[in-house]
Structure 1
């Protein structure tokens, strides 16, 4: 297309490095395109061509955005288009070359044994490899990696494209709309305030983006409140850089700030290697500790939870230099070293609970309502009689208004699932997505008390929800799980929070994964496990089973110095089982957090659609792979009683083994984890919509027409066009705003 050539050849326009970093953040987070106040002109032709190129990768300009771009100069449109195309292509995974081992994939994929025999025959014809292969065959064990044609592309990317048919467009292809934004500075400020003031923890990517935005917005408007501690650490790092007052009320806030300054983990889940700090920064951190402890010496007890981290930080801060001027700050490190006693609040609570002293535990926990809610299940289980359980319920009712909305919702979800978990496997997922399950030996919570508490929590959530006025709801968003933590959602395009359910329309399902090693040979294996309705294994597709149950594997790639892709193509009508579990196994080399880049996604195609192995218009979801385990489980597909397939989102990682992970070896652990998520019922958008449905609220399941003239509240997967400018719009990009404070 002519515009594409012009964009690629267009010289770099004058654009600050900062803007080149910030602008993609706006597009990724909001699907809005910031529009500068540029010179008026006749950019209509360039804007329409820009729109056409966007459609080739599954994006489109809204009518308003197309009109506004048409009013700019052609040069301005070309600059905007050039930058935007790079951003959206990366969003969907089209910024890299996706080659496949089998050049005709999904056609002409051989059976596994046939393919291996072909590789052996070719190796025997090669004089360099013949001797080694004969020696291995004589011993009865053959290393596939020793075969010259195994695991490495045998053709170029261009050769693969030459033999593939053009994609036939389908009405079911994805089309993500980009909307018109305001001036860049307004968009940056709005996104900063939204992320910094988020009521729920942000995911890793969003937290990093907040750090970037906080530096840019340090001198501008600030949120009234920053309720999440990790967010506060990123903002404090920016405030420190411009000499603004720090937002500190615990010693742990200072520790998180130190981690942010060292580009470490502000969630404190992983150890941070603290950098050498300048004297002004050391003084600022010590002064912050002094103000916290001087105002409330009892906060010294918080040091115990992170003693080792405080000791490492002390090595960088040199607290002895501040002994005379900042004595309270010095005490922090004395507690960390065990030289000073500071009995912790948690320790006193645990003593009471260990002695089954419910009244004593309640008396303490009333001073910390959030911890009271987290200990609720334990209190109910150890209560000696109904009188004590009544006291627990009364305390919850009294202190619920002082607990954050996400904690209230998390406890509500826990109680909903509590009766079905007793005697079954208990599922655990840590902040990084590592999943494991153990038998649940907890006694049941009495049904009557559980129902009373659920009623209390529902009433509290209903009280906090704003009156939405006329409420329009996209039916497809009702089964999306409430994002109680950003860490339950991977970064990417079309990604839903863990536990969300979405319908899959189409006849062919195609998984893809891409990785590029940073330093060492790295081999990722894309696989798919098929399970029966009782979670027993039916079959699988992997490099050891290239064809099975109507599916085909694109071939094993065993190294990725320039990047590598693997695909699985599935005809859904031919799948026998109830569940399809795609997974990415690390067979050898670098982990998901060590490679230069790695991501997973899936495409949906109609039966007659051809095209390349990777077609961005058919990509429904693309998520980054950034987890601590050696086996990634992004989502599971389940066939319902109505015959339709639905995806349930997992975002989980299994520990696996250090090397040689294969779908055959982890099928039991995979099935256990999948069962734990599939059979757990998450609170969804539907739950909040039901609570908002009252006499004063007009709720309408809306399909996009007709468009109302008055302001409305809209909740859906994507922003619709034409709504009144004063409407409140909630989509996947800001779904966290639904969580009440």
Structure 2
């Protein structure tokens, strides 16, 4: 268990909790540990190296074993990455040549000859029936022996691991950060919060838990510990019931409610009763989740507890036996009658809903006077709206300035993306600009005044993480809409998957697009070579895990966009396989090495989304010839089987265009709001660091910052979102 908790801290903070052990002469072992870390792209900070050097060699080895296991998983080096073509990226054959070679081998095999001849006679050839197609023809060790050693380069990734505090202190701090997050967490972080809450529920607590999913996870732990529950809506109780049943606290997926213990039933019913007793109007919230509430009522048996009559009212509303008109239905009735001012007055009691409805209200307002009142109401309620909603609305209106012929993209909570034409009438420019100015002023009021702000310029174009669901779990992963420079001559994608039960075939592909998003060419199992690139070969099953690669020489690519994608050809989806992840590596032109080299990995992200086609990011060639990445984290529905890059190129290009041309709010935007007389902004060039405390924003934490500095990196970037 201790290793699991230390691993959790390391993944989230890049800190190793202060190593324990007897004093001794561990300098040699510590240096060996540091060298082993370098091989996977990590290193010890000077402070951590010194701490380890003062421990016994046995203590250092103990820490090293656990740490190396964790960082290997972080970068994807915990599995064996074989490639179908043993010399990849060298000696990759032309597609037709390769297929003919497989046919010749099948004809020379007594077991497969008859089947191959029959298929050839009928004019339709099933590649999967050929004994040498889609299955590794050499061992992992043979592949390693055929590859040259990696030549070290200055551009190889180096991620510094820092010295942390005692494990309990690190866990408490991480619990407070996750539980108190102002933005929803991704699924992996939510699972980690559940682990932490079980340990920390009776210790220090955050001042507020604004995200409802987080509150449900914490309430589950508090219920187990006998602490008071944090409930102020009926939906809080429903989410807690889902947590107790091992279901989905985000309420995206239906939960099969378990038979709950009598103490749990009493706690849920008492919570519902207290919420409605304090504010009977909250009965209307039941309508949003009527069916789950009906099913929950069957488990809680409210009729057995007459002392909580308000709880019984909740289920009466769900069954339609008691009326409680919802705010949404009342607003909808007013809007159907084009009573904009009446809708605005009603929505002022729900500030977040009012801000989300601004676009519609401004479009259907009868005249300028009504639009003025809509804007005035938005200004009045903005202080009561969460920071992430204010930022989302600000980003929305910024993008409403675009021409109406631009596509409109939608992305749901599970990363499923789709595009439709934008047929909405424009919002009057003057009203849009007034709203943007008001929202900017509100956000500026909430932002901290750090005094001295030290800035790594590489973080400026990182999109604000308004939801943890817009970022996949992994290493070096940026939120959807972020942009980052691509510094390297050789770009290499990789995908790894391991099936759970049935044969599963994932296909790594890359679609190359012109400036107008039309198709130039692609790399896939049906097109093993293209200008500047090669595919490592098709692997069609993964009982022991399988990898595919695409390598591209960026100097030779003449397309404007490179869109890597993972297509599910057959078998289990991304949420059913035992494991699946995608990433990319960058190498200098002269670097050799095996297909997968961990210290060249720039990004590794888990593939866990709803859809049969994954689009992690897109690479764009700028006018000066340099390349930049824009992060997508999207999944397309695809078809049930046989998804291929050539079949989905139109839908992929539409989605890519919509997201590439959408402008996201970035760290640069927040820095612009924070720049004032009270904040001195300095751009750090990698040189000497200040001797005094600063607020530091960067992709990674540099060594040598004052210990009292506030440090914001990718791991806790959500902390920049104002409450």
Pick the TM interval, shorter chain.
over 0.9
Residue of structure 2 in register with 1:183 after alignment? 166
Residue of structure 2 in register with 1:273 after alignment? 256
Residue of structure 2 in register with 1:373 after alignment? 355
Residue of structure 1 in register with 2:708 after alignment? 726
- Paired residue for 2:276, among 282, 293, 298? 293
- Say whether the 8 Å CA contact 2:506–2:568 is kept in structure 1: yes
- Paired residue for 2:673, among 683, 688, 691? 691
> Structure 1 residue 233 and structure 2 residue 233: aligned?
no
> Structure 1 residue 82 and structure 2 residue 30: aligned?
no
Distance 1:153 1:352 in 2: 65
State the Cα deviation string for residues 255-302 of structure 1 (Å, max 9, x = none): 111111222211111111222211211111111111111221211111
Q: Kindly state the Cα deviation for residue 37 of structure 1 after the two structures are TM-superposed.
A: 4.5
- Say whether the 8 Å CA contact 1:593–1:628 is kept in structure 2: yes
- Paired residue for 2:460, among 478, 497, 519? 478
Distance 1:474 1:75 in 2: 38
Q: Kindly state the Cα deviation for residue 700 of structure 1 after the two structures are TM-superposed.
A: 1.0
Q: Kindly state the Cα deviation for residue 318 of structure 1 after the two structures are TM-superposed.
A: 2.4
Runs of 4+ in 1 over 6 A off after TM superposition: none
Residue of structure 1 in register with 2:451 after alignment? 469
Distance 1:270 1:716 in 2: 36
SS of 1:348 mapped into structure 2: helix
SS of 2:160 mapped into structure 1: strand
SS of 1:448 mapped into structure 2: helix
- Say whether the 8 Å CA contact 2:19–2:52 is kept in structure 1: no
Distance 1:302 1:655 in 2: 31
After superposition, residues 158-557 of structure 1 pair within 5 angstroms as 158-322=141-305, 324-420=306-402, 422-557=404-539
Q: Kindly state the Cα deviation for residue 87 of structure 1 after the two structures are TM-superposed.
A: 0.4
Q: Kindly state the Cα deviation for residue 408 of structure 1 after the two structures are TM-superposed.
A: 0.7
Q: Kindly state the Cα deviation for residue 425 of structure 1 after the two structures are TM-superposed.
A: 1.6
Q: Kindly state the Cα deviation for residue 36 of structure 1 after the two structures are TM-superposed.
A: 4.2
- Say whether the 8 Å CA contact 2:20–2:59 is kept in structure 1: no
Distance 2:55 2:220 in 1: 38
Distance 1:368 1:647 in 2: 39
> Structure 1 residue 141 and structure 2 residue 97: aligned?
no
State the Cα deviation string for residues 289-341 of structure 1 (Å, max 9, x = none): 1111122121111111111111222222222322x222211221121111221
- Say whether the 8 Å CA contact 2:406–2:658 is kept in structure 1: no
- Say whether the 8 Å CA contact 2:497–2:542 is kept in structure 1: yes
Output the TM-score relative to the length of structure 1.
0.97
SS of 1:290 mapped into structure 2: helix
SS of 2:112 mapped into structure 1: helix
Residue of structure 1 in register with 2:591 after alignment? 609
Unaligned ranges ≥5, structure 1: 1-16
- Say whether the 8 Å CA contact 1:421–1:440 is kept in structure 2: no
Residue of structure 2 in register with 1:660 after alignment? 642
> Structure 1 residue 589 and structure 2 residue 575: aligned?
no
SS of 1:621 mapped into structure 2: strand
Residue of structure 2 in register with 1:9 after alignment? none
For the aligned residue pairs, the C-alpha RMSD in angstroms reads 0.9
After superposition, residues 74-113 of structure 1 pair within 5 angstroms as 74-113=57-96
State the Cα deviation string for residues 204-260 of structure 1 (Å, max 9, x = none): 111111011000111211111000000000000100111111000011001111111
Q: Kindly state the Cα deviation for residue 421 of structure 1 after the two structures are TM-superposed.
A: 5.2
SS of 1:573 mapped into structure 2: coil
Distance 2:3 2:87 in 1: 38
Q: Kindly state the Cα deviation for residue 535 of structure 1 after the two structures are TM-superposed.
A: 0.2
- Say whether the 8 Å CA contact 2:180–2:209 is kept in structure 1: yes
Aligned residues: 723
Distance 1:226 1:474 in 2: 30
State the Cα deviation string for residues 561-589 of structure 1 (Å, max 9, x = none): 00000000001111121000000000000
- Say whether the 8 Å CA contact 1:423–1:442 is kept in structure 2: no
Q: Kindly state the Cα deviation for residue 467 of structure 1 after the two structures are TM-superposed.
A: 0.6
Distance 1:385 1:419 in 2: 20
Q: Kindly state the Cα deviation for residue 25 of structure 1 after the two structures are TM-superposed.
A: 0.9
- Paired residue for 1:45, among 10, 28, 34? 28
Residue of structure 1 in register with 2:46 after alignment? 63
Distance 2:638 2:652 in 1: 10
Output the TM-score relative to the length of structure 2.
0.99
SS of 2:408 mapped into structure 1: strand
Unaligned ranges ≥5, structure 2: none
Distance 1:604 1:262 in 2: 44
- Say whether the 8 Å CA contact 2:19–2:63 is kept in structure 1: no
Distance 1:531 1:302 in 2: 47
- Say whether the 8 Å CA contact 2:82–2:547 is kept in structure 1: yes
